[in-house]
Amino acid sequence: MTQLLRPENLQDRLLFAIPKKGRLNETCLTLLSGADIQFKRAHRLDVALVKNLPIALVFLPAADIPHFVANGDVDLGITGHDMVQEAGPAIANAIDEELALGFGKCQLQVQIPEASDTIKTVQDLVGKKVATSFDHLAGKYFQELDKQSGSDKTTTIAYLNGSVETACALGLADGIVDLVESGETMRACGLKPIATLLSSEAKLIRPKTPHARSNTALISLITARIRGVIAAKRYVLCQYNIPKVNLSQALEITPGRRAATVSTLEESDWSAVSSMVTRDEVANIMDRLENVGATDILILSIDNCRV
């Protein structure tokens, strides 16, 4: 990594920060492939030079990426919304969350032992000990609860770098604040949620004020490519024929991402419609189209697009 970080290797290259490991890394690599960002990352190196574009990929801990985007020379980054907020208001206010990427969805929750007889609500944790990796957000949340309680009790926030879910079982804390995806790990540890601080997903971020060396045209190009890849995963193309008398009903079912494409067929009382529809609603949409008289209904996958 040291040699690749020499200034001459990064000169005139857009710097793009990617989570080096964890829940976001693998999906980020798939996203880069879909955007035709071609690179080869050498073993144990955290910088990769892109072959077909003037970009250097820098693999960093997800929690560090907001700091490098806000205060360093990094032009683009992918990290969770939770990491941007945990970095604090000065960092969060210096960053634009350009795109929601649709993966890495989770919630930052307060969790307590299911078997607890004394703790039932977040107010019951006031004055007790809470373990978390999100000491900024958890501290701010419980500081407000401490004030509202009207007592002189102060909740103790214990920072842990990992394995937060074990803190209650091992006697370190009365409750925890941690990211929850499916909740399976928390249930296995005998925990249950009692409050949600925020909802999160992966975001494409950039500095609000571009760096002096930033290639804004290339930033816009990469952003458009990634937006297209995300849309291609979310949407499919629905094509069908419909009698003109029923066209308005059909268009209510398939309005398209912006608008549907309508063409007149040789049979003048029929129209052909092409429209982007969300992948998870396809079966229901086909049923509804058939009910209003549509025929020859086809669903086509989208490999890539620009939207």
Same domain, 53 and 38: yes
Specify the length of the chain in residues.
Answer: 307
Give the model's confidence band at 268: pLDDT under 50 very low, under 70 low, under 90 confident, else very high. confident
Q: Tell me, what's the pLDDT at 44?
A: 76
Give the residue-averaged pLDDT of 205-217: 90
Query: Does one domain contain both 254 and 119?
Result: no
pLDDT (average), residues 176-200:
94
Same domain? For 182 and 210 the reply is no
Question: pLDDT tens digit string along 129-159?
Answer: 999 999 999 999 999 999 998 878 899 999 9
Whether the predicted pLDDT of 14 surpasses 90: yes
Q: On the CB side of 88, how many CA atoms lie within 13 Å of its CA?
A: 8
Which of the four pLDDT bands, split at 50, 70 and 90, describes residue 89? very high
Q: Please check whether residue 34 is in contact with residue 229, taking contact to mean a CB–CB distance below 8 angstroms.
A: yes
147 with 110, same domain: the answer is: yes
Same domain, 64 and 208: yes
**pLDDT exceeds cutoff 50 at 116:** yes
pTM, full prediction? 0.87
Tally of domains within the chain: 3
Note the pLDDT of residue 296: 96
- Residue 269 sits in a domain whose CATH number is 3.30.70.120
In the predicted model, what is the mean pLDDT of residues 158-176? 94
Range of the structural domain that residue 253 is part of: 235-301
Q: What percentage of the chain has pLDDT greater than the value 70?
A: 97
Per the domain annotation, does 40 fall within a domain?
A: yes
pLDDT class for 83, splitting at 50, 70, 90?
very high
Considering the domain architecture, whether residues 35 and 155 belong to the same structural domain is answered as no
Average pLDDT of the residues in 28-52: 91
What is the mean predicted confidence (pLDDT) over 237-252? 97
Q: Verify that 128 and 195 share a domain, yes or no.
A: yes
For residue 44, the domain's CATH number is 3.40.190.10
Instruction: Give the separation between CA 81 and CA 101, rounded to whole angstroms.
Output: 11
Structure tokens that stand for 245 in this block: 């008398």
Confidence of residue 1 (pLDDT cuts 50, 70, 90): very low
Tokens of 81: 């919304």
| pLDDT value at 87 more than 50 | yes
Section 252-264 average pLDDT: 95
- In this model, does residue 254 exceed pLDDT 70? yes
Q: Examine the domain organization and report whether 209 and 100 are in the same domain.
A: yes
pLDDT of residue 151: 78
pLDDT at 9: 65
Q: Could you tell me the pLDDT band of residue 307, with boundaries at 50, 70 and 90?
A: confident
Report how far residue 298's alpha carbon sits from residue 303's, in angstroms, rounded to the nearest whole number: 16
Which of 92, 19, 26, 115 minimizes the C-alpha distance to 59?
Answer: 19
Q: Average pLDDT, stretch 287-300?
A: 97
The more confidently predicted of residues 15 and 212 is 15
Please give the pLDDT value at position 2: 46
pLDDT at 129: 97
Q: Which of 177, 200, 223 is the last residue of a domain?
A: 200
Report whether pLDDT(245) > 90. Answer: yes
When pLDDT is cut at 50, 70 and 90, the band that residue 211 belongs to is: confident
Residue 229 lies in a domain: no
Domain-located, residue 60:
yes
Looking at residue 5, what is its pLDDT? 58
194 shares a domain with 132: yes
Band of residue 3 on the pLDDT scale cut at 50, 70, 90: low
Residue 227 forms part of a structural domain? no
Which pair of structure tokens corresponds to residue 208? 């609000």
CA atoms of 291 and 285, how far apart (whole Å): 10
Looking at this protein, which amino acid is placed at residue 168? C
Give dist(CA 197, CA 182) in Å, integer: 16
